[in-house]
């Protein structure tokens, strides 16, 4: 898989948003254990500063979550990289379903890896902004305004599924929409303690489960908002 994104000069950034700053973030991710060169390349290519408010752009290449409005956050780069790496390990997914589009950054990383991306977001305003950014970057991501706890049955099964908001337990509908051999990565737990879980679907329909890391995500909520 080779990253497909080719950036226009006007989105390449200058100063605190330049390629050099992005390269430094990639080195930091490498030092903190991210190994997949394709994932590191995607982080090197996708301009994270365009996925946050302009006032926060200068902090976009710190390895930290940042607010994106509506009490939501763009995930920490290390978490994005770790989850993406986990989806790709021992698998060659073609399609991926994301629950929780948020800023659209995780979707952009997946698209830059050449995956066919489907993403679902419950907050209409965030989804509209994410769509606009992804379109400006020329990234072809399919998205839907809905409660992602029901997945997106129309295009199932997906070779990989990534959930970017935490639920007390794994969501059954999503496991149903995962293809055999595919990985699902999701934070599971309450407000104070969550673990990043990776499930792999077996041919008999059962799942193998692995705990990857302690994490902090915003909650997976029910219903939709405009």
Contact (Cβ atoms closer than 8 angstroms) between residue 138 and residue 108: no
Does 184 engage in binding with ligand SAH (CB under 6 A)?
no
Query: What is the rounded CA–CA span in Å between residue 63 and residue 97?
Result: 24
C-alpha distances (whole Å) from 176 to each of 32, 151, 171 are 33, 9, 9
User: In the numeric block, which tokens belong to residue 102?
Assistant: 């948020």
Does 100 engage in binding with ligand SAH (CB under 6 A)?
yes
How does DSSP assign 8-39, residue by residue?
Answer: -GGGS--GGGSHHHHHHHHHHHHHTT---HHH
Does 77 engage in binding with ligand SAH (CB under 6 A)?
no
Quote the least distance from Cβ 204 to ligand SAH, whole Å: 29
Q: Which is nearer to ligand SAH, 99 or 134 (CB)?
A: 99
| Secondary structure tally for the chain: helices H, strands E | 6, 9
User: In the numeric block, which tokens belong to residue 8?
Assistant: 């226009």
Residues 35-74 that bind ligand SAH (CB under 6 A): 72-74
Does 186 engage in binding with ligand SAH (CB under 6 A)?
no
Known catalytic membership, residue 75 = yes
Catalytic one among 71, 75, 143, 222? 75
Each residue 141-160 as x (binds ligand SAH by CB under 6 A) or -, in order, gives ------xxx-----------
Q: Output DSSP code: residue 203.
A: T
Query: What is the rounded CA–CA span in Å between residue 110 and residue 185?
Result: 13
Q: Which is nearer to ligand SAH, 40 or 109 (CB)?
A: 109
Q: Which is nearer to ligand SAH, 14 or 150 (CB)?
A: 150
Quote the least distance from Cβ 225 to ligand SAH, whole Å: 8
Does 120 engage in binding with ligand SAH (CB under 6 A)?
yes
Does 79 engage in binding with ligand SAH (CB under 6 A)?
no
Q: Output DSSP code: residue 225.
A: B
- Any idea which residues carry the catalytic annotation? 75
Chain residues in the site for ligand SAH (CB under 6 A)? 72-75, 99-100, 102-103, 105-106, 120-123, 126, 147-149, 164-165, 218, 220-221
């Amino acid at each position: 898989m080779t990253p497909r994104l080719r950036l226009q000069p006007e989105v390449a950034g200058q100063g605190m948003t330049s390629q050099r700053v992005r390269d430094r973030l990639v080195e930091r991710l490498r030092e903190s254990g991210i190994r997949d060169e394709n994932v590191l390349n995607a982080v090197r290519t996708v301009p994270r500063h365009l996925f946050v408010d302009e006032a926060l752009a200068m902090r976009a290449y710190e390895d930290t979550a940042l607010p994106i409005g509506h009490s939501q956050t763009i995930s920490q780069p290390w978490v994005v990289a770790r989850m993406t790496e986990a989806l790709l390990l021992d698998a060659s997914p073609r399609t991926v379903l994301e629950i929780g589009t948020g800023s659209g950054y995780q979707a952009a990383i997946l698209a830059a890896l050449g995956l066919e991306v489907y993403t679902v977001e419950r907050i209409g305003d965030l989804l509209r902004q994410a769509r606009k950014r992804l379109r400006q970057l020329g990234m072809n991501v399919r998205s839907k305004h809905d409660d992602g706890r029901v997945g997106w049955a129309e295009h199932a099964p997906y070779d990989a599924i990534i959930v970017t908001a935490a639920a007390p337990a794994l969501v059954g509908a999503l496991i149903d929409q995962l293809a055999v051999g595919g990985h699902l990565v999701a934070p599971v737990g309450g407000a104070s303690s969550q673990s990043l879980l990776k499930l792999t679907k077996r041919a008999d329909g059962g799942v193998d489960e692995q705990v990857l890391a302690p994490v902090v995500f915003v909650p997976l909520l029910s219903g939709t908002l405009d």
